[in-house]
Amino acid sequence: MQTVLEYGQHAYIHGGFGYIRSDGSVDDTKPVELDLTARSTYIYAIASLLGIPGSLRRCEHGIQSISNAFKDPDYDGWFSLIEPIQEHQKLTNAPGIPAGTEGNRKSARAMSYLLEAAAAASLTHVSSAKELLKQAITVEEKYFWNEEVGRVNETFKRDFSEMENYHGMSSNLHAVSAFLSVANATQDKKWIERAARIVSFAMEQARNNNWRVPEHFDGDWNLDRNYNVGTPADPRRPYGINVGHNFGWSRRIVQVAAALQKNGLEPPQDYLQVAREIFDRTAADSWCKDGHSGISFTVDYHGKPLMRQRFTWVLTEALQAVVSLAFALREQGATAEELEPYFELYYRWWDYLEGYVIHADGYWVGELNANNLPDDTVWPGAPDIYHSVSVLLTPRLPNAPSAAAAIAQGNLDHPLSAEHHKALWE
C-alpha cells in the first residue's frame, strides 16, 4: 500500500489532485475534477488515520482545494470541473473557473465523493474538514437528497434552477457509501436510514430484472433500457448493465445491513440472499466470457457481454464485493466449505491483478483490452489510487462502520466478530 500511496502523490497540483498518466506524471493541462480531488483527499485521510507520514498534509491540501478552488462563489455547491489553476490564482487563492458545460453543472456523484472525503477528513487533525462537511450536508439535503423517492437527484444547472431529466444508479451507489461515512462522522442515524432506502430500491430492481441492477432511468424514475444504446463505451453512462456497479450493489447491501444492525435497526429480511444473487449473477455474466481471463465492463439485459474492455476499478469492486459478502455469510454461520466458491474467485481475481495490472512502482494499469493488453480506449492512464487503496484495505476491515471510522476506532485487522474471525482466509 505504501508504494501505491507514493505513486498517488504525483497527482498533487495547485487546486486539488490531477489526472495521472500511464507514466506516472500528472496531466496538468486537463481540467481539475472534483471527483478525483475528493477521492484522493479521502484516500489520504485514510492514510493519515493509518499513521502514514505525509498523508495529513495531502489530505489538508485536498480539503482546502475543495473549500476554495471548487467552491462556487455565486451559488450554492461546488464546481464539478475547473480549469487548471493559473499563476495569478495561486497567489490570490481565487476561486477556480468552471470548465465547460460539465464544470458548470452540480453533480450528485461529485457531491458523494466530497461528502465521503470531508467525513473521513473530519476524523483526522484537519480542522477545516468539519466545516466543509457541514456545508456539504446542507447542500446535499437542500438539492440532491429526494426525501419523497428516497434517492438522489442527478445533476443541476449551476444555479440549481433546472434538474437533469435523468436519474442514474451510479450516483445513488456512491451516495450509499457517502451517507454511511457521514453517519459515522456525525453519529446521525438518519444517514444510514437514507442509505437503506437507496439500497431497498436497488434490491427491488434486482428482483425484477433477473438479479441485475439496471443503470439508467428517466426523470420520473422509469427504466430506460435504450439509454446511450449508441455509445456503449461512454465512461460514465455506458449502455446496458454496468458490471462494476452491480458488484458494488452486492457489497453496499451487506454494508448497509451491517450498519443497520450495528445501530439497533433491522435490515431487510432477504438482504443476504439478494446480495448473493446479484454477486453470483454478475460474476457468471462477466468473468472469463471470451476465452481470456478478465471481467467485461458491461453486459446487456440478458447477460451477454457488450464492452469487453477490462477496467481495474471493476475488478477491485468485484474483489471488495466477494470479501464483504464472505464476511456477511461468515457472520451468519457459513462454513469454510460453503464459502469455498467465493474463496476461489478471490484468489483467482488477485492472481489476475498480480499478473496483468500491478507494477512494482505502484502503478496499476487502468484499462486492458479483451486480450489483456494495456489499452486506453475509454480511460487513458490510471487517474487516481482510490480503488487500489480501497481493495487493499477491504479484507482488513469490517462491513461496518465505514473505513475511516473503523480505522479510527481501532478495528483494522478485526473485520469479524471474535467468534467468526478464526481461520476465515487461512
Q: What are the structural domains, with CATH classification, of the chain?
A: 1-142 (1.50.10.10), 241-425 (1.50.10.10)
Q: Residue 242: which pLDDT band, with cuts at 50, 70 and 90?
A: very high
* Burial zone of 65 (CB within 10 Å; 0-12 exposed, 13-18 middle, 19+ buried): buried
Query: What confidence score (pLDDT) does residue 419 get?
Result: 59
Summarised one tens digit per residue, pLDDT across range 35-90 is 999 999 999 999 999 999 999 999 999 999 999 999 999 999 999 999 998 766 66
pLDDT at 263 over 70: yes
Out of 10, 167, 174, 387, the active site residue is 387
**CA pair distance 243, 248, nearest whole angstrom:** 9
Segments of 114-271 assigned E as strands: 145-146, 151-152, 155-156, 166-168, 216-218, 241-242
Geometric angle at alpha carbon 61, from 59 and 64, rounded to 5°: 110
pLDDT at 379 over 90: no
Cα atoms found within 13 Å of the Cα of residue 177, Cβ hemisphere only? 27
Q: What is the percentage of the chain residues whose pLDDT exceeds 70?
A: 96
Query: What own/partner pairs with CB < 8 Å and gap ≥ 24 does 156-164 have?
Result: 156/105, 156/106, 157/104, 157/105, 157/106, 158/72, 158/75, 158/98, 158/104, 158/105, 158/106, 159/74, 159/75, 160/75, 160/76, 160/77, 160/106, 163/219, 164/105, 164/219
The H or E element spanning position 399 is none
Query: What confidence score (pLDDT) does residue 409 get?
Result: 97
pLDDT at 22 over 90: no
First to last CA, the chain: 21
In this structure, the dihedral spanned by the alpha carbons of residues 283, 289, 291 and 295, taken in order and rounded to 10 degrees, is -50
Region 114-136 average pLDDT: 98
pTM of the entire predicted model: 0.96
Region 385-405 average pLDDT: 98
- Interior/surface letters 251-287, b for 16+ CB within 10 angstroms, e for the rest: bbbbbbbbbbeeeeeebbeebbebbbbbbebbbebbb
Region 382-407 average pLDDT: 96
pLDDT at 422 over 60: no
Region 117-142 average pLDDT: 98
pLDDT at 177 over 80: yes
**CA pair distance 33, 78, nearest whole angstrom:** 11
The DSSP call for residue 124 is T
Cβ distance 214 to 223 under 8 Å? yes
Query: What confidence score (pLDDT) does residue 163 get?
Result: 98
**CA pair distance 236, 297, nearest whole angstrom:** 12
Q: What is the mean pLDDT of the chain?
A: 95
Segments of 138-277 assigned E as strands: 145-146, 151-152, 155-156, 166-168, 216-218, 241-242
Query: What confidence score (pLDDT) does residue 290 get?
Result: 82
Region 244-268 average pLDDT: 98
The H or E element spanning position 299 is strand 298-299
Query: What confidence score (pLDDT) does residue 93 get?
Result: 73
Out of 14, 125, 245, 421, the active site residue is 245
The question of whether 421 is a catalytic residue gets the answer: no
Summarised one tens digit per residue, pLDDT across range 407-421 is 999 999 999 875 555
Tell me the DSSP string of 354-385: IIIIB-TTS-B--EE-TTS-B--SSS-S---S
Look at phi and psi of residue 187 and say left if phi exceeds 0, alpha if psi is from -120 to 50, else beta.
left
Query: What confidence score (pLDDT) does residue 55 get?
Result: 97
Query: What confidence score (pLDDT) does residue 92 get?
Result: 65
The question of whether 61 is a catalytic residue gets the answer: no
pLDDT at 141 over 70: yes
Summarised one tens digit per residue, pLDDT across range 265-302 is 999 999 999 999 999 999 999 999 988 999 999 999 99
